[in-house]
Chain A
Amino acid sequence: MAASETAVLSTAPGIPAQGRLASVRRRLGWIGMVCAGIVAVVVLAAMVGQFFVPYDPTVGSVTQRHLGSSAEHFLGTDQAGRDIFSRLIAGARTSLVGPLIVVVATAVAGSMLAFTAVWFGGKTDAFLGRVLDVLFAFPSLLLAILGVAIFGPGLVTASIALAVAYIPYSARVIRSVALRERNLPYVKAAELQGINGFTITLRHILPNVWTQILTGSTINFGYAIVDLAALSFLGLGIQPPAADWGLMISNGQESLQQGFPGQSLYAGLCVVATVAAMAYIGERLGGRAAAGRSKQ
């Protein structure tokens, strides 16, 4: 009982930031802290990595093709003679920005749909539910490919197309948690006090479900990296010669058959490590939040 009370207090506003940081650390555990470290490194690389890359990631030399690891080229070079290490660092940015667009757009649009459905209920809820069912019927990657086919390839269009494909998943999850909140007495009480639905949703429901939205987003982030990489792999996302992890896996496939697995391998490792770290953090924070809630 005491533990659940401190958990409630620690996520509350008005608690010093230091206490909140400590509580996040406690929730993550040491594996979670390692994951947070991985994410931090990737984010740092995405932000400032381009100023520190040893070679220009988009320029190569034909005489330098398929070099192995050496003092000059830490992870070797690719089929165009470009430094793989430099491309990994430069690729961190597009590999993060794309999923970030996906996740933010999905969370915002999904929340708006879910809150609208939950607030008005009845026919509105049923109608929006059917619309989402139709979207569900298409595999998300297929839907994204359709979007890109219409609006043309590129990081932004691919990300937005993917976001649309993700909306039904996030909207369904947010709807279920918001619905539970909607039926609690405090929301009824606010309604009785003559406070309008928009205000109640923003001030009462949202603060009580945002942890779940955030958790869902970290998990979506992992999927988005993989799916965007798949789109880039198909040539629909990032366009060469820009560096992107998905693109590197794709470009590496021919070299793979020729016995030079480096490019695909290292880019794949980056994707796996980032996705796993994100998912673990999301799982950990979300799982704890859910446990704390049930104990209340």
Chain B
Amino acid sequence: MTNIIEISGLNKTFRTSRKHEPVRALDDVSVAVREGSCMAVVGESGSGKTTLARVLVGLETKDSGEVAIAGTPVTTSLQRKEQRARARAVQMVFQDPNGSLNRRLPVGSAVDEVLRAHFPLTASQRKERVSELSKSVGLADSHAQSLPSALSGGQKQRVAIARAFAAEPKIIVLDEAVSALDVSVQAQVLELLHELRRDKGLSYLFITHDLSVVRNIADDVIVMRQGQILERGTVDDVLDRPQSPYTRLLLECAPKPGWKPRRGVIEHLNSKIAS
């Protein structure tokens, strides 16, 4: 099986201010994602997982390292042509659909303008395609005229997913795409993502901090902390037989049924991380 994404030796530092040390958001990160698989990236806030996604889609420039999508090296240039080509290869679903959808644009138009940017379709063909896409994410045609404010959180995220699929990319990066949703809606959206991947042969890079979601959707997983990859492997391996102490800690922290916070648990965890 070939790798759809190959990242090797990727580095990225952020200079927050002159006084502080620059932050190493990505420290020699290498990732390979098999075609048609779902790779989950887990880690706490500030672990560099979102930076990894942003570099991949081109929202952030890299300092050094190689990024290749389907065998083609990706440069982080702002050239119009390359942006378009990248848009056809990688799309992203953001965490908060309230922010990632224009509040004054009917959601059907949001999908329509992606079609217009990439395909030579007539207005009626585009309309048909928008309706197809809406159907595939479980939205009624009547929603196309609605503004985002008239939709529920789950519906909005479905629109964002439909929009990501509109350009027919090979890879979709999902940055905490279900984290803002209710648990029941979360399950529906995960199910939808699963089906779409199976039907269209896509690959996902799934950024999340929620380990139960990882088990639900991913094939492989990497664990990141402070810009480095601590552990990688199949979901079963990593979650059931974690090798690094940090992964074990993450698993311990994850709320389970019957879990109650105990006094001093945070201090306990911190001391464990330090060791």
Contact = CB atoms under 8 A, between A and B. Distances in A.
Interface in A165-224: 184-186, 188-196, 199, 203-204, 207-208
Nearest to B85: A194
Nearest to B83: A194
Contact of A186 (B59, B100, B106, B118): B100
- Say what secondary structure dominates the interface of chain A: helix
B87 interface: yes
A190 B91 CA distance: 10
Contact of B113 (A8, A192, A199, A296): A199
Given A9-B147, A185-B100, 17 more contacts: A8-B103, A13-B104, A14-B147, A185-B96, A185-B99, A186-B101, A189-B100, A189-B163, A192-B57, A192-B58, A192-B91, A193-B87, A193-B114, A194-B114, A194-B167, A196-B80, A204-B105
Contacts of A56: none
Nearest to A12: B147
A189 B104 contact: no
A31 B86 CA distance: 54
B126 to A, nearest CB: 14
Contacts, number: 77
Nearest to A204: B102
Interface string A1-29: 00001001100111000000000000000
Interface of A: 5, 8-9, 12-14, 184-186, 188-196, 199, 203-204, 207-208, 296
A259 to B, nearest CB: 58
Contacts of A8: 103, 149
The 3 closest A-B pairs by CB, nearest first: A194-B87, A185-B99, A194-B84
Interface in B98-154: 99-106, 113-114, 117-118, 145, 147, 149-150
Given A5-B149, A195-B113, A189 B103 contact: no
B94 interface: yes
A196 B117 contact: yes
Nearest to A181: B102
Nearest to B54: A188
B90 to A, nearest CB: 8
B194 interface: no
B48 to A, nearest CB: 19
Nearest to B84: A194
